[in-house]
Amino acid sequence: MENELISVIVPVYNVSRYIDRCMTSLLKQTYENIEIILVDDGSPDDCGFKCDQYARTDSRVYVIHKKNAGLGMARNSGLDIAKGKYVAFIDSDDYVDEQMFERLYDRLKHEKADTCFCRYYDRTSDGQNLLAREVYKKSLYCEEEVWELLLGMIGNLPEEAGDVAIGMSVWKGLYANAIIQEQGIRFPSEREYISEDIIFHMQYLLYAQRIAIEETPLYYYCDNGTSLTKSYKVNRFKMENILLKKEMKELDQIFEPDIYRQRLYKSYLGRVRRCIAQEVFMNPERQVARKNIRRICSSPIVQDVIKKYDSHNLHWTKQLTNRLIQHKWTSALIIVFRLKG
């Protein structure tokens, strides 16, 4: 049987330094029946020109030029024209193994699955490839077992190490386009929700029946120093709270609260700690940072979650941090974060 078409959607914005690396890895794929949809999201650099050059030299490349609206909306523009049986989402400042789509497709077909996830590397700024720590308990998740994957993305149980078991990013997966189109699944804007990927997965996994896991790491998530995920966001804490409310609304329609709430609380408190770390290490105005940290600690949502969260099995450092947040001891929090580095 002839290999089926895979649509590879690549949002492009201000990545002139990295897009050639990304495109080289895509154009060299051993699985050749792909269409690459480059979505120029109003990039201010020469990315739009580079996208057009790629389209002129390879008939598998298509380009959409659009007004800037963010990552989620750019992916949606790609979904609107994707013709493949399967869809992949690649970030243009990362790159992939040349066998990524061949391995994902073969694994998916071998398991008669509709979706396949692979492992990935965190590529550091000094060129090291570190295998990301994810905990997949099965090589194939069928029907109701799919919920285990979603729960792993939502968060770990209090007694488990790490905030989450499985990363929520869509760029490590191969998805059934029929599910996406028939169910009208699209990404929200990351300007509205700080993580558009988890919301996509909460919708998509409602309909996925069989999800295969490819144990080979095939994606390189790159620390380029300029990533949006590593930049200071003035409204980050506000967006985390908006996301929490959205997650609870969506998950209440899938699970009983007892099944997911402790997981979500753990993940949320981890995100709160990262909001505090952002103020400690990235806000140049110390008095403003101190004021923001106190505002975070005083938030009714934070106080409510800490009160309801079972922290007995946490590592003592996280127990200490949560206690300091609960009592709004801003100065002590700043000292602890600086000591931890």
Predicted structure pTM score: 0.94
Q: Which domains does the chain have, with CATH numbers?
A: 6-132+167-228 (3.90.550.10), 245-340 (no CATH)
User: How many Cβ atoms from other residues are within 10 Å of residue 25's Cβ?
Assistant: 18
Euclidean distance between CA atoms 275 and 243, whole angstroms: 14
Position 315 pLDDT exceeds 90: no
Taking 90 as the threshold, does the pLDDT of residue 52 lie above it?
Answer: yes
Instruction: Report pLDDT for 311.
Output: 85
The pLDDT tens digits for 174-186 are 999 999 999 999 9
Q: What is the mean pLDDT of residues 275-301?
A: 97
Beta strands 140-142; 210-222: pairing state: antiparallel
For residue 301, pLDDT beyond 60: yes
Mean of pLDDT values over 199-204: 97
Return the minimum-mean-pLDDT range out of 108-122, 137-151, 215-229, 231-245.
Answer: 215-229
- The rounded percent of the chain whose pLDDT value lies above 90 is 90
Q: Give the distance from CA 215 to its chain's centroid.
A: 19
Residue 226 has pLDDT above 60, yes or no: no
Whether the per-residue pLDDT at 262 is higher than 60: the answer is yes
pLDDT-derived band at 312 (thresholds 50, 70, 90) equals confident
pLDDT mean across residues, the chain: 95
Tell me if 120 sits within 8 A of 172, measured CB to CB: yes
**Mean pLDDT, residues 275-300 taken together:** 96
pLDDT band at 286 (very low <50, low <70, confident <90, very high): very high
pLDDT in tens, 15-32: 999 999 999 999 999 999
122-176 pLDDT, tens digit each: 999 899 999 999 999 999 999 999 999 999 999 999 989 889 999 999 999 999 9
Length of the chain as a residue count = 341
Please state, in angstroms and rounded to a whole number, the distance separating the CA atoms of residues 250 and 266. Answer: 17
pLDDT at position 228, please? 45
pLDDT(227) > 80: no
The pLDDT confidence band at residue 225, using thresholds 50, 70 and 90, is: low
- What is the per-residue pLDDT for 230? 59
pLDDT band for position 314 (cuts 50, 70, 90)? confident
**Strand partners of residue 221:** 122
pLDDT in tens, 58-112: 999 999 999 999 999 999 999 999 999 999 999 999 999 999 999 999 999 999 9
